[in-house]
A and B are shown apart, each in its own frame.
Chain A
Amino acid sequence: MHVSPGLFSEYLSPASYCLAGNGIYLPHIEPQEAREVLVSCVNPSGTNIVTCQDPRIHSFLKEAGGLGFDIAPSNSVAVQGPYIPIFDYRTIELAYHATSEVVGLTLTDILVSPLKIVAGQYIIKKILFRDAAVIRGLCARKKVILFLTGQDALIETIWHQRTVCELFQQLSRMNFWAVTGFNFSVFGGECPVAQRLNQKKSIVSSLLLEENGLFTIPHIYAVNDFHITQYQQWLKRNPHIQLVTMNCQMQHSPEDIEQVVRAVQALLIINEKLHIILQGYWFSELHHFESFLDRIHIAESKPVKYGQNFQKVDPTVFTKADQYSKDAYKDLVLENVAYRKHELRQILIHSSR
């Protein structure tokens, strides 16, 4: 369908109006990437993303130091065990008893009830950090990874306020073993400038963590081949990076899982020492990784959430909420964590045969 330039043409034919199509963001964004735009880059309210047509784009590019993947943290950490249970603030003392050497927390767990829903929307109430001593207590006994994942309303606000709320100083006081880069959203079909800006912001966040004395695990999202190529080149230039992470909690459709597998395989093939932590990736889809499975680690909060709902993760056991006492969730959480750890081990053993 031919669309004449007019009042709504940017919405009817969004790909034609993405400024990246003119090549002005080369070499970081290929003009062909604009052809994949499905949602208009006209976003005057700045909702969710910063597009090529946002009048404030230069401020964001300045903050991120441009769109080039020209920076990287200089140190890297390595994990051994394949399974990383993610606990929360309520269950933090249970994490002491987990058999995994490495455990996880997420951004929301180090803040006091940061979110509420108003008119069907998440909004931030107030940025107030939990008592660092409680977190430090766990970090003294376990290797704790803080996953900077969560709702956009949370991570974008914390990122914007990072200096005001003294984020990095707070994280340093908590003594995490490692902190992941921020999980800024990257959606296919949206402006490629917004995608690349969020990918770059995540790398910048890793660098800032490192500058504040924390070990960091860079976070990666790649929703198309252009992104994969950019990350491959970045990893080639930075072979010392031996651990990255990807939050997979939203990738459940066959197409999304296929893209995760393609991206992960393409990255792992670049550096044989590289490992990746997949957060929230389904066990049932692990077989796709085939020979790369020994370099994949799974972090998840499922057994902890199930336990707190008085449920077992073992699908053969049916439980009713009223069959347990109020405190029984503690045993259920630990039982669930042990079950999932064993389940993953069995999958890996079976796959290696």
Chain B
Amino acid sequence: MGSKIKPDRNKKDSVIIREPIAANAAGGGRSRQDQIADTCAISFHVRLKESPLVKKDVPVSLQKSWPYYQILVMASIVGKLSTKQSEMVETCTHLGVHYAGKIIKESNGMYARFTRIVQ
């Protein structure tokens, strides 16, 4: 990226530094950071059905209702993740990752967009 005398990095250019491959190959399993980078998508979208609650920029949250994660606006269910997405979110939760979501409007409808937050 570059260098500055103050720690103001470009927010768009963020990367999880992976453990050197030689260290991984030596055994002991992959590090948590590598697992996050490999498993937890930076972002994913889920299409939502139109409803009075589904408005652009409204924050959404996830609630586990196994085998799925439901998408909530306030306390109301407005959609759900696919099995694959639910499994990913479940795995990533154990890795200390959560997803922040909000509703976005695309030309073909409304979507909940979730973005990875690494703790």
Contact = CB atoms under 8 A, between A and B. Distances in A.
Interface in A34-89: 38-39, 44-50, 55-56, 59-60, 62-63
Contacts of A123: 42
A33 interface: no
Interface string A245-263: 0010111010110010000
Given A48-B17, A63-B22, A160-B18, A120 B11 contact: yes
B6 A156 contact: no
B14 A152 contact: yes
Contacts of B21: 160-161, 163-164
Contacts of A153: 13-15
Interface in B1-38: 1-23, 31-33, 36
Contact of B12 (A55, A121, A256): A121
B17 A47 contact: yes
Given A48-B9, A123-B42, A185 B1 contact: yes
Given A39-B7, A62-B23, A123-B42, A247 B2 contact: yes
Given A185-B9, A251-B3, A119 B42 contact: yes
Interface string A155-181: 111001101100000000000000000
B15 A152 contact: yes
Contacts of B11: 120
Interface of A is mostly: loop
A122 interface: yes
A220 to B, nearest CB: 10
Contacts of A48: 9, 14-15, 17
A308 interface: no
A255 B3 CA distance: 12
Interface residues of B, number: 35
B115 interface: yes
Interface in B34-55: 36, 42-43
Contacts of B16: 45-47
A310 B17 CA distance: 38
A349 interface: no
B12 A250 contact: no
Nearest to A51: B17
Contacts of A47: 14-17, 118
Contacts of B13: 121-122, 151-153
8 contacts: A39-B7, A63-B23, A160-B20, A188-B4, A223-B3, A223-B5, A250-B2, A255-B6
Interface of B: 1-23, 31-33, 36, 42-43, 96, 113, 115-116, 118-119
Interface of A: 38-39, 44-50, 55-56, 59-60, 62-63, 117-123, 149, 151-153, 155-157, 160-161, 163-164, 183, 185-190, 221, 223-224, 247, 249-251, 253, 255-256, 259
The 10 tightest CB contacts between A and B, nearest first, are A119-B43, A59-B23, A250-B2, A46-B33, A45-B118, A189-B7, A188-B5, A63-B20, A152-B1, A185-B1
